[in-house]
Structure 1
Amino acid sequence: MDRNTIIGLTLIFVLLVAWQQFLAPTAEEIEQQERLQDSIAQAQQRADSLASIEETTPEEIQLATGADDSLKLVQRQAGFGPFAPAAAGKSETVTLENDLMKLSISTKGGRIKGALMKNHFKLEYKEDGTEEEVPLYLLEDEKNKFDYFLPIANLPSGGVSTGDLYFEVAEAAPQKVVLRAKASNGGYFEQSYQIEDGTYNVDYDVRFENLNSVLAANTDVIQLSWVNYLDKLEHNETYERRYSSVYYKPIGEDPDYCSCTSDDTEELGDEQIKWISNANQFFNSTLIAEEGFLGATVETRMLPEEAADLKLLVSEIGVPYNRGSSESFAMHMYVGPNEFDRLYAMGDGLQNIIPFGWSIFGTINRWVIRPIFDFLSGFIGSAGIVILVLTFIVKLALYPLTYKMLYSQSKMAALKPRMEGLKDKFKDDQQAQQMETMKMYREFGVNPLGGCMPMVLQMPIWFALYRFFPASIEFRQASFLWATDLSSYDIFWRLPFEIPFGFGAHISLFTLLWAVTTLIYTYYNTRHMDMSANPAMKYMQYFMPLLFLGFFNSFAAGLTAYLLFSNLINITQTIVTKNFIIDHAKIENELEAYRSKPKKKGGFQQRLENALKEQQRIQEQKAQGKGKKK
């Protein structure tokens, strides 16, 4: 190696040493990196302690002698503080069962993770169009939560969620279980469940034993977080989604609910709340406080139609805590079907979660239509036949109004020949024709709206029944003729494509027959009516049934069956009344007798006649003005 080579290598070495010294971190930078690494390690330890705790029993923790076991214990103490003994364990399922339901309760979190309804099923539709009954569960979604947050000072998270704790079974019986999450000071948080035969009610209590020295000193409310993903239980998802929401009842006030058709949040502040209910169309899970919850926030979140779940319901509930050495908070749960009598017997307006409607419509359904249906069901086994008999009773009760409507129509029909004469006399003057028509009505004492008012008076019954059939669990999966579920639409013919505007991919035969009978009834009922003054009305009355065909095609078969039966009874009543009950000769005599009486000024017809005269005068003035301009 020559001298030049040695000099070159020496210079390169010196440059490398100088470069390393130039890039080397300062003492301050090294210290900062060490602090960062320590912070990362501590954060990882907290994450491991909260999310990745191995399933070991408290006895194994106490007997651990190795370094790994000691490290795990330290991690649990850092993450759970005094509840470190309950931070590890094995998740097991405890079962409570009666003649109506079967509850599965997890020792991890101590919550109900499934409630089997023994007398109710879901119907799953196969590709070949057949139906299969499968078990129906409530509160079964793995994403659900029912966690109490126990505030504890000096913990990074501010407290402990009971959903992360493992509960020990302190007492077990076929219909009762007591679960405890123990603290290191000998205290515990307790949840107890008890059921009895013949009911969907669950006696549910929580207990704080010797936790006043464990929980944060300023704690006066324990927050309960209830997250419930509602399952799709019905075939008609559109109406199931429409009738599902969070209901709640402030003490001293009427029950209320979140929106059923959009995202909604209700902040109840510090109000005392008696109960909060997560309601499907025909089932509900309700938490009831004996003394009242202290404030709540309830929320309904809509999910996409293609989602596996129906809706997401979230409730943040305040449970009062008095910081005593031993205290409990008594509650009840109702986990079961929306049966009116059961819910009504529990009190506090719980029956209002059944979506019968509010105001007069809900009143009619709850206290008129429902009792009649229940009475008839005691004698008649078929829900479809009960609907037929119910329709007959409703039509019979409304017959006085129907008779008045038909009688008014008969008086209009008696005047029709005279009306034809007016049309011929004033065929070139529409205003004069209308004014002379009003004079004739007044002269013979005929009210052109007399046939409409009885129909308007029946509308509260119709609107009530519109809500009654899809809300009554008695129609759920009840079959009649070709319909397999009267609470959903009947499928007589499946279509290979989807028709928009709510029509669906099926044909409902009840709806189709209703539309046909409506057209027949309309034709027969109005063939003697004079509609020359408003020809568009003549065609509109035939267009309306076709328009509503799409609306009712996806509605409850119970309602469309009622509408069909109602049309058939209407046609029968109309034919019998007009041909055998109403005396048309007597009507002619009444018209002539009224014509000969002296007439009083005023009244609706007189005001209408005056309005027509004023309208005619204005038009004549406009015509004269145009003539002068020319």
Structure 2
Amino acid sequence: MKQEQRVLIFMVIVFAVMWMMMPQTPRKNGSKTPRPGATPALMSGDATTTGSKAQMAATSASPASASRTAPDEEGGREVEAEAEAPGEIIPIRTRVFDIGIDTRGARPRHWAIIAPEYTAKQAGPDGNGAIELIPQIVRQDAQRDLPLEVTFKEKETRSFARLNSVLYDCRLTTATDGATVLRCVSQPVNDLRLIKTYTFRPDSYVVGLEIQLENLSESPLPRAIREDKLGFGLTLGPGIGQYDPARSNRTSGVSYTHGAVASDKEVFDLSPGGGKTLERYLQARWIALKNKSFAMAVVSPGETTRLSAAVALQRTRNELPRDLAKTQSPPYTIIAYTAPLEIPTSGVASLNYQVFAGPMKRTIMDGVGYGFHRVLFHNSWGWFRWLCLAMMSALDWFHQWSHNYGIAIILLTVLVRILMYPPTHYGFKLNAKTQMEMAKIKPELTAINEKYKDDFQARNKATMEVYKKHGINPMAPLRGCLPMLIQIPIFFALYKILDVSIDLRGASFLWIHDLSMPDRLFMLPFTIPLLGWNEFNLLPILMALTTVLTQLLSTTQINDPNQKMMLYMMPIMLLFMLYNLSSGLFVYWITSNIWQAAQQAITNRIVKREVHPAPA
């Protein structure tokens, strides 16, 4: 097998694996409503009702498309609600959060992480380092969708959508354990009052949320709440993460949003493609929206409480600005529903949730419980996910020892190369030995090609006889590549953990100010046409040079100019394709290349002594 054929096969395998592991970006189409008449699987829940018991279920539905509508008093139809001015913003500040709750709808209008361990070195879009989790790139008015809205209605009759837009009477208190409690009571809507109670603890990324539905009418609230037999709905989204123009599109949290829903045993991806609404009819434990580094989730804490989920692309009124629409995906909304509720006369139904909003760090997510850490790499294969988690734990351990993530990445790379030394050494040795043996028989092969240039069968037979005479296995080059294929999953696991690690944000190393960003050694006085580069990144150039070095050392016997040209093609392609890759990934890549070059050089010397022993 010729060298260019081996390179071509290797590149095909690499790009195939990259494509399989790459999250699919959804198209920018409108959302669709779920299929009508779908029946969810029901399970008793811990939602309590004064005078009767409610049930929680698992199902799905479209976005809160009715959240801005109100019932027509004459015909029971839904008509568009009148625009209303925003209410008062109640500030909530803990050590980790800076949150603003709007008294109109009792919904969070902004929700920022301010924990110093994540913001001290982080320059956000507003310049203060706060990491905003509610996208502020969509339409900014009282009519926009916000997280933790409610959506439900009676079958073919009254709608309660105005509960997201009426004024609430909100009172702040401090609990005996130091928690901040915000209790918001709505104005009545169609003889129903909604009470939201938020509980914020000083150092916790988990917020308690109790929702009470108080029936003010003289008749029970019917059990069949919706035409599709769904009950009370609570929304997450639209989207998560603020677009930061200082970061590249690749690192933008908006365009890399995924949804997930989990039962006690499995986690399902809820990221739609082609504008479709995905539906998951199951008994769920939690639902989540996440970008590369952060997540927001609604957790069902009871032993038997279950949620349900659907994810959909956001409605037209929340479309992205035109200048962002070309690079950013429409934000998702996930809705969790209960089973149909039945609230007796003057009764109260209570629903308890936990809301997580924070970084996707294993130690923090373990504190949430209920298997919430499973949202990490949830859309990866099972064995690959465990490989990523193991390497993430190793990276954290090396950081605890070195106190620098750049050094931790280098140590992790060295550990991986040591563990992979036996198969790579075998592959390097076999490849080097085969090249030297092929160089010895090259004159014979050239003569055969000239002699039988018009007779393929005769040429092939003569070539095999030469291989047999010299004891050369024609499949040896392929055998030499197989041990190195073992490294591909490890490479992509390292790629993935370094790409999503929250701890690399703002972490410095040598001249690098932020390992989650390109190294940006200095700004260019111009923009390179077509490429759009206006910054000089040194690391991708070093990566390309070290890759060329490893290629030259692994192909010492190649003299054909065409084959030599192939050696330079892939590094140059990688340079252009990955120029704006994060610095942490390049630190790994360059370290790995240097190790490989040294190992290959040593192996070449060993093989040379074996093939050409020194005279006695």
Distance 1:210 1:419 in 2: 91
How many residues end up aligned between the 2 structures? Answer: 498
* Residue 193 of structure 1: how far off its partner (Å): 0.9
Q: Is the 8 A contact 2:311 2:334 kept in 1?
A: yes
In the alignment, structure 1 residue 258 sits paired with structure 2 residue 271: yes
Identity of aligned residues (%): 20
1:403 aligns with 2:425: yes
CA contact (8 A) 2:221 2:343 kept: no
- In the alignment, what sits opposite 1:394? 416
- 1:500 Cα deviation after fit: 4.4
**Which secondary structure does the structure 1 equivalent of 2:149 belong to?**
strand
Q: CA deviation at 1:303?
A: 4.5
Shift of 1:360: 5.7
Q: Which residue of 1 aligns with 2:150?
A: 148
4+ long deviations beyond 6 Å = 46-49, 152-155, 184-187
What SS does the aligned partner of 2:106 have?
coil
Matches of 1:357 and 1:222, distance apart in 2: 28
Per-residue displacement from partner, 1:210-249 (whole Å, max 9, x unpaired)? Answer: 4574774244412335442542147122343553222222
What is the alpha-carbon distance in structure 2 between the residues aligned to residue 47 and residue 410 of structure 1?
Answer: 75
**Structure 1 residue 299 displacement after superposition:** 1.4
Map Cα deviations across residues 184-213 of structure 1 (whole Å, 9 max, x no partner): 999732111112233200111111234574
Over 3 Å counting, the alpha-carbon distance change for 1:337 and 1:188 in structure 2 is same
Q: Does 1:545 align with 2:568?
A: no
Q: 8 Å contact 2:259–2:287 — kept in the other structure?
A: yes
Contact 1:361 1:464 in 2 (8 A): no
1:287 aligns to 2:307 (yes or no)? no
- SS class of match (1:334): strand
Using CA pairs under 8 Å that are at least 6 residues apart, name the structure with larger relative contact order, 1 or 2: 2
Where 2:87 maps in the other structure, the secondary structure is coil
Deviation at 1:403, TM superposition (A): 1.1
CA contact (8 A) 1:207 1:328 kept: yes
Tell me the amino acid that sits aligned with residue 278 of structure 1. Answer: L
Match of 2:123 in 1: 123
Q: Secondary structure at the match of 1:144?
A: coil
Aligned: 1:378 with 2:379: no
User: Whole-Å Cα distance in 2 between the matches of residues 189 and 42 of structure 1?
Assistant: 21
What TM-score, normalized to structure 1? 0.70
Residue type at the aligned position of 2:434: M
Deviation at 1:262, TM superposition (A): 5.9
2:471 corresponds in structure 1 to 444
Equivalent of residue 522 in structure 1, options 547, 551, 555: 551
Question: Separation in 2 of the partners of 1:342 and 1:255?
Answer: 21
The partner residue of 1:267 within 279, 301, 321 is 279
The 3 A distance-change label for structure 1 pair 252 and 49 is closer
1:512 counterpart SS class: helix
Residue 604 of structure 2 corresponds to 578
Q: Map Cα deviations across residues 439-490 of structure 1 (whole Å, 9 max, x no partner).
A: 4444425423232112212111112222221111111222223332222222
Mapped pair 1:201 → 2:191: no
3-state SS of the aligned residue for 2:267?
coil
1:146-175 deviations in Å (ceiling 9; x for gaps)? 4324536998x7334211222223562261
Matching residue within 563, 572, 582 for 2:589: 563
Select the residue among 312, 318, 323 that pairs with 1:306.
323
Structure 1 distance, partners of 2:307, 2:410, is: 48
Q: CA deviation at 1:404?
A: 0.6
The residue type paired with residue 571 of structure 1 is A
Q: Which structure shows the bigger proportion of residues in helix conformation?
A: 1
- 1:190 counterpart = 2:195: yes
CA contact (8 A) 1:255 1:349 kept: no
Select 2:258's aligned residue among 225, 241, 245. Answer: 245
1:181 aligns with 2:223: no
Range 305-314 or range 480-489, more displaced: 305-314
In structure 1, the gaps of 5 or more residues are 1-40, 56-89, 126-130, 590-630
Distance verdict in 2 for CA 1:517–1:506, change over 3 Å = same
1:592-611 maps to which residues of 2 (within 5 A)? Answer: none
Q: Is the 8 A contact 1:275 1:289 kept in 2?
A: yes
Equivalent-residue separation in structure 2 for 1:281 and 1:427 (angstroms): 55
Q: C-alpha displacement at 1:372, in angstroms?
A: 0.9
User: Which of 471, 485, 497 is matched with 1:456 structurally?
Assistant: 485
Deviations 1:523-582 (A, max 9, x none): 1220225x76xx754422221111111111122221122111111111111223333xx2
Kept in 2: contact 1:150–1:215 (CA 8 A)? no
> Which amino acid letter does the alignment assign opposite residue 217 of structure 1?
P
- Partner deviation per Cα, 1:250-291 (whole Å, 9 max, x = no partner): 5553231214x76442123x5333322222221121112235
Name the SS of the counterpart of 2:417 in structure 1.
helix
| Rounded Cα–Cα distance in structure 2 between residues aligned with 1:405 and 1:433 | 29
8 Å Cα contact 1:165-1:181 kept in structure 2: yes
Structure 2, unaligned runs of 5 or more: 1-71, 226-230
Cα distance in 1 between the residues matched to 2:188 and 2:566: 75
Change in CA separation of 1:215 and 1:543 when aligned onto 2, cut-off 3 Å:
farther
Is the alpha carbon distance of 1:292 and 1:239 closer, same or farther for their aligned partners in structure 2, counting shifts above 3 Å?
Answer: farther
8 Å CA contact 1:422, 1:436 repeated in 2: no
